[in-house]
Amino acid sequence: MIPVAAGLVATWLAATTAAASDDTFLAALEADRRALVVQALPATPATLRTTLDDSLAAPRDPAQIWAARQWHNAMEPALARFVQDPALRTELLQRIYLEARLAGLPPALVLAVIQVESAFRADAVSSAGAVGLMQIMPFWIRELGLPADDLKDPWRNLRYGTTILAHYLAVERGDFTRALARYNGSLGKTWYPERVMRAWQRHWREPTGAGRATVQR
């Protein structure tokens, strides 16, 4: 992966989310609207600011909540192959949906990346030192977050991974192949994007209208 300016989105990474049930999902979406400032930071790069501002400013209406629940119901059977605990599956899906929507990503794409990267193991560590669900390299803590950040915390890991992928997608003007190759550190090769896209199409097909992102394929 290619580092970006230090402190890229520390305020965003510091936000916390809680979505324990369908009844609290809307409240969790609204909770991430609050502005948190943990330290003086440089301005967020233009490549990511539009995604953040648009996501946080978007109103949450009943149709969006219905779409989120439809998406959850569609994804849950496939996720059961990897996560046996029903309560954990529910929370993981809700968190992935929330983080993907905040980043302007298709939630099912995030599921596909996690499948390829870690097979949904929050404690996974690669031979190169990449950590957690979305296999984040530790140098990203210096670039994006705070020294205390634990990349094995699945919710923090999701915030890092979706932030990084959204940045690369913005850099590549919506080209998923190139953005995914950047995410993997293999720009110029297609094997990794092909693996992710294949997982997306085979295992994480979205219901019509659910989880639709702001980017275009």
pLDDT confidence band for 189 (50 / 70 / 90): very high
Tell me the mean pLDDT in the region 35-61: 48
The pLDDT assigned to 59 comes to 62
Q: In the chain, which residue ranges form alpha helices assigned H by DSSP?
A: 10-14, 22-31, 46-57, 62-79, 86-103, 107-118, 139-144, 154-171, 176-184, 191-203
Top mean-pLDDT range of 16-20, 40-44, 169-173: 169-173
pLDDT bucket at 151, cuts 50 / 70 / 90: very high
Mean pLDDT of 46-65: 60
The residue with greater pLDDT, 38 or 91, is 91
- pLDDT of 65 reads 81
Residue 148 is predicted with a pLDDT of: 85
What pLDDT does residue 64 have?
80
Global pTM reads 0.72
Buried residues in 150-164 as b, exposed as e (16+ CB within 10 A): ebeebbbbbbbbbbb
For residue 57, the model assigns a pLDDT of: 61
